[in-house]
Structure 1
Amino acid sequence: MNRLGRKLFLSISIAVLFIFVLFVLMANLLLPKYYIYKTKAKLVHVVDTIVAIPANQVAVSIPELEQKYHVTIVDDSLQKRENDLNESLLAQLAQKKVTLNKFWITDESLQKIKSGSRVNKIYDQGKLKSSFYASFIRKDQSVVLIGLSMAYLSDTIQMINEFILVLALGSVLIIVLVVWLLSYRMTRPLKELGEVAKDISELRFRKARTKTRDEIGELAESINAMSDKLKAAHAELSRKNQSLKRFMSDITHELKTPVSLIQAYAEGIQDGLDDGSYAATILRQNKSMAKLIDELLHFAKIERDALERRPFAVKDLFFACAGQFRLELETRHLELVIRDELPANSLIDADPDKIRMVFHNLLSNAVKYTAYHRINVSFKERDSEIELHMSNVFQGEITDVSQLWEPFYVLESSRTKENSGTGLGLAIVKTILEQHGYRYHAEVLDQTLHFHIYFKKEKSPRSA
């Protein structure tokens, strides 16, 4: 038997034994008094019945009362002498098969009866192991005795104690069996849950197979839910860890090239090999490195800063951002086609500075990688959201669209910064949208890259 089973067995056994001991004490202390109380109450009821019967009908009613209440009733005249009266009553009791070796009505008791009082007597019969409980009343000029034989309670109580002992032993055996079954049914799923919890603590995520409709079943469901969430969290943490490793590798790569060039050209100047272009190259590489550091600091600041939300017209903000790219669009001979299907008062509740950054980075990304000189943008209402859809044809290949949102991911493997930039633009977009709780996704269809962003509409303008 396991520890839980032993604990259940001891607890239940102690409770049962306590109950049995309590029964024994009650049988020995309270049962005699209760027995006498019930006997007296029965005789009182018979006495009250006789008192209510007319005197001339008592003799006729005695057989019926004796049969109904299982008592013995005899009567005689109060005019007789004490000895004669006792002998007469004793003889009548003997005729009714009530043999008493100890019976006597004293003169004091007779005087009380004659005065109309009730007299109750218990006559202990000694070796007969019985007692005779008698009530005496006066009925007209006669004394009426209503009696009831009582067995000795000591023998009865002893038998009750023996019976309780047998019950206690039998109960203990039943308890052992029941506790073993209960502990097996309870501890088997608990043991399984313990093993599952241990596996989860060792990052081996699995589910318990316990199917019960009680608190253990609810615990199993909670552990299974916890296992699923921890598994997802662990997978996400592992993915972020890999992203962090790749992020550090990319930073190293991004900084190593300009640092190496600066060192090489600086050594060339030191050795007198400068043809007049070395200083310009050093400045250009230093500028590129400073730009990257500024982008990294900006990226970290975005994740750290709190949002300053307020209602504003989302398409007006987009048109303002698009206007900043007019010169670059003309230079690259690109066409920006915007299809606006929004009402004039379409508002969102967001941080306008950060949403402006989202629009700027999306437009910048589209301008850099667009082929066939066209960028398509549309605004639509979808239930409680405003959808921004931006698409452009691109050159090259995207194997995993989800990588677009990772820091330092660029479409060009050569990482030519004049064309590709730092690769932090879409990572910043992702961070800002997740801060606002907006849905977003990207997809590639027929060599066309599509971005979808869903802004939650503001129902009505709020006062500042």
Structure 2
Amino acid sequence: MNKLGRKLFLSISVAILFIFVVFVLMANFFLPKYYIYKTKEKLGEAINLIAELPAARMADSIPLLEQQYHVTIVYDSLQKRVNDLNNSLLQQLAQKTVTLNKFWITEESWQKVKEGSRVNKIYDQGKLKSSFYASFIRKDQNIVLIGLSMAYISDTIQMINEFILVLAFISVLIIVFVVWLLSYRMTKPLKELGEVAKDISALHFRKARTKTRDEIGELAESINTMSDKLSEAHADLSRKNLSLKRFMSDITHELKTPVSLIQAYAEGIQDGLDDGSYAATILRQNESMARLIEELLDFAKIERGILEISALPIKDLFSDCLEKFQIELEFRQIELVVEDDLPGNPMIEADVDKIRRVFHNLLSNAVKYSADHRIHVSFGERGSDIVFHMSNVFQGEISDVSQLWEPFYVLESSRYKENSGTGLGLAIVKTILEQHEYCYQAEVNGQTIHFYIFFNKISPRPA
């Protein structure tokens, strides 16, 4: 038997034994008094009925009362002498199969009954191991005896105690079996849950197979849910670690190249080898590093930034961002088509600068990776939301579209180095949209990538 089973066995056994001890004590101390009390109560009911009976009906009613209350009723005249009265009552009791070797009404008791008082007596029958409980009352000119034979209460209590001991022994046997069965059914799933918890702590995520309709089942469901979430978090953290390692490698390379060039050209200037282009090269490489560092700082700032909400026209804000890309679009010969199915100029509540950053990063991403010199943008409605959609054909491969939103993810940077960046653009977009509690999604259909943003439209105010 395991530890939990032993605890259950000891606890239940102690509780059962305690109850048995209480029963024994109550039987010894309270049962005699209770027995006499109930006997007196039964006789009292019979006495009350006799007292209410008319004298003419008493003789006919006595057999019915004796049968109903299991008592013996006899009576005789109070005018007789005490000795004669005792002999008469004894003879009547004997005729009703009640044989007493100790019975006597004293002068004092006879006088009390004659005065109208009720007298109760218990006659111990000695070797007969019984007692006779008798109540004497006056009924007109007669003395009435209502009696009840009682077995020795001590013998009854002894039998009850013996029965309790037998019951206790049988109960202990039953307890051993029941506790063993319960402990097995309870500890088996608990043991499995413990093994599952150990595996989870060792990063071996698995689920418990326990299915019970109790607290253990609820615990198993909670552990399974925890295992799923920890598994997802671990997988997500592993992906981020891989992205971070790749990002650190890329950043190291991106910084190493301009630093090396800056050092080489600076040494050339120092040695007098400058042909007039060294300073320009140093400045260009320095600007490249400054842009990289600035983007990192922007991402960190946006992550912990506070929104400054105001009402703004969504289409006008996009048009402003688009104007800044006109020169680059013409230089790369990219056609950007805007399809506007949105009536009027709807307003949204958002942080202007951050939503501008969202449009800027999406446009920059589309321009950078566009493979067919065409970008498609549309505005539409879905219920109370404004749907912004941007799509373009891209070059490269995307194994998992959800990774696009992760920081430091770069689209196949080793194969398309000329188009790679820090991988923070879409991560910044994700952070801003989640701060605004806007829904968003990305889909890949063949070599076409689609971005969707669902802005909450402000309801027009009545004029």
In structure 2, relative to structure 1, the CA distance for the partners of 1:433 and 1:101 (3 Å cut) is same
2:299–2:428 CA contact under 8 A, matched in 1: yes
For 1:296-335, what aligned pairs fall within 5 Å after superposition?
A: 296-335=296-335
1:372–1:393 CA contact under 8 A, matched in 2: yes
Q: CA deviation at 1:260?
A: 0.9
Could you state the TM-score of these two structures normalised by the residue count of structure 2? 0.91
In structure 2, relative to structure 1, the CA distance for the partners of 1:256 and 1:145 (3 Å cut) is same
In structure 2, relative to structure 1, the CA distance for the partners of 1:113 and 1:460 (3 Å cut) is same
Q: CA deviation at 1:436?
A: 2.7
Corresponding residue SS for 1:94: helix
Deviations 1:196-230 (A, max 9, x none): 11111111100000111111111111111111011
Q: CA deviation at 1:35?
A: 1.6
Deviations 1:258-283 (A, max 9, x none): 01111222222333333332232222
For 1:213-252, what aligned pairs fall within 5 Å after superposition?
A: 213-252=213-252
Q: Give the partner amino acid of 2:172.
A: V
Q: CA deviation at 1:154?
A: 0.7
Greater displacement, 292-301 / 452-461: 452-461
Q: How many residues align?
A: 459
1:426 aligned residue: 426
Corresponding residue SS for 2:267: helix
Cα separation, 1, equivalents of 2:416 and 2:75: 132
Cα separation, 2, equivalents of 1:81 and 1:399: 125
Q: Give the partner amino acid of 2:408.
A: P
Cα separation, 1, equivalents of 2:423 and 2:78: 128
Asked whether 1:138 is paired with 2:138, we answer yes
2:398–2:411 CA contact under 8 A, matched in 1: no
1:336 aligned residue: 336
Q: Give the partner amino acid of 1:253.
A: H
Asked whether 1:44 is paired with 2:79, we answer no
In structure 2, relative to structure 1, the CA distance for the partners of 1:360 and 1:157 (3 Å cut) is same
In structure 2, relative to structure 1, the CA distance for the partners of 1:295 and 1:74 (3 Å cut) is closer
For 1:163-202, what aligned pairs fall within 5 Å after superposition?
A: 163-202=163-202
Cα separation, 2, equivalents of 1:61 and 1:341: 106
1:341–1:378 CA contact under 8 A, matched in 2: yes
Q: Give the partner amino acid of 1:388.
A: F
Unaligned regions of 5+ residues in structure 2, if any?
Answer: none
In structure 2, relative to structure 1, the CA distance for the partners of 1:411 and 1:27 (3 Å cut) is closer
Greater displacement, 177-186 / 447-456: 447-456
Greater displacement, 123-132 / 137-146: 137-146
1:73 aligned residue: 73
1:335–1:375 CA contact under 8 A, matched in 2: yes
Cα separation, 1, equivalents of 2:53 and 2:393: 120
2:397 aligned residue: 398
1:123 aligned residue: 123
Greater displacement, 116-125 / 446-455: 446-455
Q: CA deviation at 1:25?
A: 1.6
In structure 2, relative to structure 1, the CA distance for the partners of 1:104 and 1:324 (3 Å cut) is same
Cα separation, 1, equivalents of 2:229 and 2:276: 62
Deviations 1:325-367 (A, max 9, x none): 3344444444332111112142222211011112122223334
Corresponding residue SS for 2:457: strand
Deviations 1:50-75 (A, max 9, x none): 32333344344434433443322332
Cα separation, 2, equivalents of 1:268 and 1:95: 146
In structure 2, relative to structure 1, the CA distance for the partners of 1:172 and 1:373 (3 Å cut) is closer
For 1:247-396, what aligned pairs fall within 5 Å after superposition?
A: 247-370=247-370, 373-394=373-394, 396=395
In structure 2, relative to structure 1, the CA distance for the partners of 1:438 and 1:51 (3 Å cut) is closer
Cα separation, 1, equivalents of 2:213 and 2:313: 54
Unaligned regions of 5+ residues in structure 1, if any?
Answer: none
Identity of matched residues, %: 75
Greater displacement, 63-72 / 374-383: 63-72
Q: CA deviation at 1:459?
A: 3.1
1:407 aligned residue: 408
Aligned-residue RMSD, C-alpha: 2.5
Q: CA deviation at 1:14?
A: 1.6
Runs of 4+ in 1 over 6 A off after TM superposition: none
Q: CA deviation at 1:423?
A: 5.1
Asked whether 1:82 is paired with 2:82, we answer yes
Cα separation, 2, equivalents of 1:265 and 1:315: 47
2:244–2:408 CA contact under 8 A, matched in 1: no
1:207 aligned residue: 207
In structure 2, relative to structure 1, the CA distance for the partners of 1:194 and 1:372 (3 Å cut) is closer
In structure 2, relative to structure 1, the CA distance for the partners of 1:251 and 1:127 (3 Å cut) is same
Could you state the TM-score of these two structures normalised by the residue count of structure 1? 0.91
